[in-house]
Amino acid sequence: MLFGKKTHPLNFEYGNDWSLEKTEIIVTGNSFELRIQCHVISDFCTRLHFDNSWVSDKHNYSDGVVEQYRTGSSIQPHRHQERGVFNTPCATLELGPAQLAIRMATGPLLETVADGFGCNGQTFTLQFDIRQSSGSYGFGERTKRLNKIGESMEFWTVDVVAVFPHTYDRDDYDPNYVAIPLAIIKSGAGYIGLYFDNPGHTLIDVGNSQPGRLQYQSTTGNNDVYIIAGPSLREVVRNFTALTGRAALPAPWSLGYHQCRWSYTSEAELRALKEHFERSDIPVSALWYDIDYMDGNRLFSWDRESFPNPAGFNNELKEAGIRTVAIIDPGVKREPGYEVYDSGQQSEVFCKTLSGRDYVGRVWPGDTVFPDFTQAPAQDWWADWLGRFVRESRLDGVWLDMNDPATGYSNPQDMRFAQGSVAHEHYHNQYAHFMAKTSHQAVTVALPDQRPFLLTRSGWTGTQRYSAVWTGDNVSHWQHLRMAIPCTLNLGLSGVAHSGPDVGGFLGHTTPELLIRWYQACFLFPFFRNHSARNTKPQEPWQFGEPCTTTIRETIKTRYRLLPYLYSCAFQHYLTGDPLLRPLLYEYDDPAYENLDDQYLLGDALLVAPILTADSDGPSVFDQGVRKTCRHVALPPGWWFDLNRGEWLSGGRILSYAAALDEVPLFVRDGAIIPYYSGPLRNGMMDLREIELHVFSHAQPGQAEYFIDDQLTQGYARGEYNTVAIDATIEEDRLLMTLTETGHYPTDTICFKPVWYGTQKLRQAVVTTNGQIQSYELHSQTRPWLNRNLAVLA
């Protein structure tokens, strides 16, 4: 596959005539016929189907859209002047022989250029006029900036390091591990989502080769284009995640801090690691097994010399509040006599070549074969092996790697599906997706009524239904640290709400300053894991001694203190599709924020503006003998509480902010109520039945929503949870809080204690929980935030 090449717009042929049929508009060119149908998917979504006469396999292999939205009622077109028109609840679509105009019921209009769609054989293009557009987002996992205007992006999942070895320490490679062909376009006053549901090789050029023109191209298959209503960015994302699914609620431990390395190679090393965490007073929720736990890289095996009793050891860790996750690659060692291989071969579960041989790649175990996760026999076989392995080893989660799929020097195109009957390209981008889907099912069965935790490297639209994503092999470079923010933000806008980078950087050697800044930049990311490659400088939190260890410890602890908030953001994602991590644009639709990607919001209340440059790259200042690095912080309108200085700042402006090495510019919105855990911290063990409600109220009354469930089982999915509406106001010198719990979970299972951050001196707090009144005398105390103790009234 040659990346970076596309069909020149002048090499397409465009339609020159059109006619109407019952449920189709038929466009003809000299060399092709396009039959265009329109389906109402829901009130918020309309689908256009382009059936190209050159495409022989007309089946859409995509598993991106959830079942419920795959069928729709087809719409009859009518003639209006020179155009064929489809009227649907969310949009009116007007078609000419080569033009399409999309008029959203919510206002925005998107039109193609004069030669707007056409074909070159199987290759298909749609080209929109985006001269009026100043922002474009989504596109899944990407390098570079948040706003993709001016970029060209390909959708073909790759093992980045294997494909771009020489460009890899830069930040401009494309494609990436995950492929999600979603373009969110700001058009005039509103946003429109276009989801191109074609799992083959596609690309979207957003004004890169021709400014003002968005070009979509697909090289195989027919195209289903889902048009998704806004008009706000929030509504597009909510609607897109309704269409393609949302992440289930995570187990709280998976929202904790994770420690990984390629590789911890023995039980003794892991035990020492656990003891080091405890000795350093740094909580950790999970330790990870990279490939070296296996016996010769054979799946579902342990190197028994180094790991004599994995189940016993994993249980021992669990008792100390530490979970374990093991890496699972798809490649099965091609070795007659190895049970996993033999049984797979007998059941014919491996991908085949055109001639019907088992397709062979070359990865860690040597020659390897690859399960065909798209087919039921392989799904059952995998569920059996993986389920048994997870259960018997007492693992808590699985880490799916190399599923791009990485095949070494072996050409992946030779890998076919369904006993060789389906060409590679139909499932290439979905290999990881089906691996995640199958593994998710396996773990759900193996650990009944728990919450499966999976992490995958590659993925397709909708993979968030099964797994979290990490953004693959980054480098210990400042550029890669900066890139982590826009990349994670765009993943969130593309439906993948649970993701994060390797903290500290995977390849290359990190430095103390870079490591600290990386922890600070990512300590509130949905997935928070330090991971590094073999032969690199170790980068566990204590590796650089003091004062690094203390700074990192407090950063990690603050993550745990905010775990109830992270959990409620995850709950909100499950219910609405709102990502946990959001660009400012998500909450404040201001042109000033269209390109802003060096700061972000967690939920709608916390603003994080980390230091992303080395102090030596300045600008820096000396403040009372302490060296501080400066940056600009855009504070949206209203008042914000500065969690480093403990003071209220007025927003609607850009601040210059200086932060010492142990500081992260962190602000809370006026009117926010943040649930905070102030109990003891030991690894992943937290008793979340006692929660503090930190009320940040200056000019606005406080308001928030909290969710209560068992945090353990799938009960919430059956409706067993409560929503708590929280209000806070001031009356003279009293803080009045009202908590109203509704839902299908027992009430009063959690004790909420108020903590006050306002400017006013208060004497008392009166908390009314479901009608029960309790009052608290408020006394001055402190609460830890990063490396500061802030004075509060509690």
- Number of residue whose CB is nearest ligand MIG: 262
Closest distance of CB 662 from ligand MIG, Å: 29
Cα–Cα distance for residue pair 234/193, rounded to 1 Å: 11
Smallest gap from Cβ 405 to ligand MIG, in A, equals: 12
- Least separation, in Å, of the C-beta of 383 and ligand MIG? 23
The answer, yes or no, to whether the previous bond of 547 is cis (omega within 30 of 0) is yes
**Of 257 and 262, CB closest to ligand MIG:** 262
What number of other Cβ atoms are within 10 A of residue 164's Cβ?
18
Q: How far is the CB of 330 from ligand MIG (least distance, A)?
A: 12
CB of 454 to ligand MIG, least distance (A): 15
**Residue 201: which of 122, 120, 119, 115 has the closest Cα?**
122
Of the candidates 704, 485, 482, the residue with the CA atom closest to the CA atom of residue 582 = 485
Question: Minimum distance from CB of 231 to ligand MIG (Å)?
Answer: 39
Shortest CB 276 distance to ligand MIG, Å? 20
Residue 728 beta carbon to ligand MIG: minimum distance, rounded to whole angstroms: 44
Could you give the 3-state DSSP secondary structure of residue 313? Answer: helix
- Under the binding rule (CB under 6 A), the answer on residue 428 touching ligand MIG is no
Minimal distance, residue 391 CB to ligand MIG, in Å = 23
Query: Using CB under 6 A, which residues numbered 540 to 599 contact ligand MIG?
Result: none
Which of 530/549 has CB closer to ligand MIG?
A: 530
On the CB side of 369, how many CA atoms lie within 13 Å of its CA? 23
Nearer to ligand MIG, 50 or 293 (CB): 293
CA 486 to chain centre: 11
Q: Using CB under 6 A, which residues numbered 16 to 35 contact ligand MIG?
A: none
Angstrom CA distances, 332 to 339, 349, 414, 579, stand at 10, 11, 17, 35
Q: With respect to ligand MIG, which residue has the nearer C-beta, 401 or 594?
A: 401
The minimum distance between CB 363 and ligand MIG, in angstroms, equals: 8
Beta strands in 76-134 (DSSP E): 78-80, 83-87, 91-95, 100-104, 109-120, 123-129
Q: Annotate each residue in 438-457 with x if it binds ligand MIG (CB under 6 A) or - if it does not, as one string.
A: -------------------x
* 401 scored as a contact of ligand MIG (CB under 6 A): yes
* Smallest separation, CB 295 to ligand MIG (Å): 15
- Measured in degrees and rounded to the nearest 5, phi and psi for residue 362 equal -130, 95
CB of 329 to ligand MIG, least distance (A): 7
The Cβ of residue 342 has, within 10 Å, a number of other Cβ atoms equal to: 12
Rounded Cα–Cα distance for residues 484 and 633 (Å): 18
Q: How far is the CB of 263 from ligand MIG (least distance, A)?
A: 7
Question: Interaction with ligand MIG in 454-513: which residues (CB under 6 A)?
Answer: 457, 472-473
> Segment 728-747, which members bind ligand MIG (CB under 6 A)?
none
Which residues lie across from 136 on neighbouring strands? Answer: 185
Q: Which of 171, 290, 587, 594 binds ligand MIG (CB under 6 A)?
A: 290
Cβ partners under 8 Å of residue 54, min gap 6: 32, 119, 121, 122
- Given the complex with ligand MIG, which of 29 and 330 has the nearer CB atom? 330
Closer CB to ligand MIG, residue 530 or residue 629? Answer: 530
CA angle 705, 707, 710 (to 5 degrees): 170
**Cβ closest to ligand MIG, residue 90 vs residue 363:** 363
**Smallest separation, CB 402 to ligand MIG (Å):** 6
**Closest CB 395 distance from ligand MIG, rounded Å:** 16
User: For residues 626 and 451, what is the distance between their CA atoms, to the nearest angstrom?
Assistant: 46
Give whichever of 83 and 457 is closer to ligand MIG, judged by the CB atom: 457
Candidate residues 216, 262, 338, 434; the one interacting with ligand MIG per rule CB under 6 A:
262
Tokens in use for 130? 């985006």
Q: Is 400 or 606 the residue whose CB approaches ligand MIG more closely?
A: 400
Task: Give the nearer residue to ligand MIG in terms of CB position, either 425 or 473.
Answer: 473
Contacts of 638 (CB under 8 A, 6+ apart): 651, 652, 669, 670, 671, 699, 700
664: DSSP letter: -
Helices (H), 368-523: 376-393, 424-427, 431-446, 478-493, 512-522
Find all residues with CB under 8 Å of 207, minimum gap 6, and list them: 130, 149, 150, 213, 214
Nearest CB to ligand MIG, comparing residues 294 and 792: 294
Token readout for 331 is 């490649």
Q: CB–CB of 606/666 below 8 Å?
A: yes
Nearer residue to ligand MIG within complex by CB, 180 or 507: 507
CA 279 → CA 261, 544, 639, 678, 684, distances in Å? 20, 16, 40, 21, 15
Q: Which two three-digit tokens encode residue 553?
A: 């410890």
Residue 210, CB-side half-sphere exposure with 13 Å CA sphere: 16
For the stretch 133-137, contacts whose Cβ atoms lie closer than 8 Å and that sit 24 or more positions apart, written own/partner, are 133/185, 133/186, 133/187, 133/214, 134/186, 134/591, 134/594, 135/185, 135/186, 135/585, 135/594, 135/595, 136/183, 136/184, 136/185, 136/186, 136/206, 136/214, 137/184, 137/233, 137/490, 137/493, 137/583, 137/585
SS (H, E, C) 667-702: EEECCEEEEECCCCCECCECCCCEEEEEEECCCCCE
- Kindly report the number of other CB atoms within 10 A of residue 785's CB atom: 22
> In the complex with ligand MIG, which residue's Cβ is closer, 128 or 262?
262
Q: How far is the CB of 502 from ligand MIG (least distance, A)?
A: 7
Q: Closest approach of Cβ 531 to ligand MIG, in Å?
A: 6
- Reference 579, options 666, 669, 488; nearest CA is 488
Question: In whole angstroms, what is the distance from residue 705 CA to residue 464 CA?
Answer: 24
- Which one-letter DSSP state was computed for residue 374? T
Q: How many residues bind ligand MIG (CB under 6 A)?
A: 10
Nearer to ligand MIG, 5 or 166 (CB): 166
Q: Report the residue number, 333 or 531, with the smaller CB distance to ligand MIG.
A: 531
Q: Secondary structure of 10-55 in the HEC alphabet?
A: HHCEECCEEEECCCCEEEECCCCEEEEEEEEEECCEEEEEEEECCC
Confirm or reject binding of residue 291 to ligand MIG (CB under 6 A): yes
CB of 268 to ligand MIG, least distance (A): 20
Q: Which of residues 302-331 bind ligand MIG (CB under 6 A)?
A: 327
For ligand MIG, the closer of residues 401 and 642 by Cβ is: 401
Q: Is 622 exposed, middle or buried (0-12, 13-18, 19+ CB in 10 A)?
A: exposed
Residue closer to ligand MIG (CB basis): 327 or 674 = 327
Residue closer to ligand MIG (CB basis): 289 or 574: 289
Q: Which residues bind ligand MIG (CB under 6 A)?
A: 262, 290-291, 327, 401-402, 457, 472-473, 531
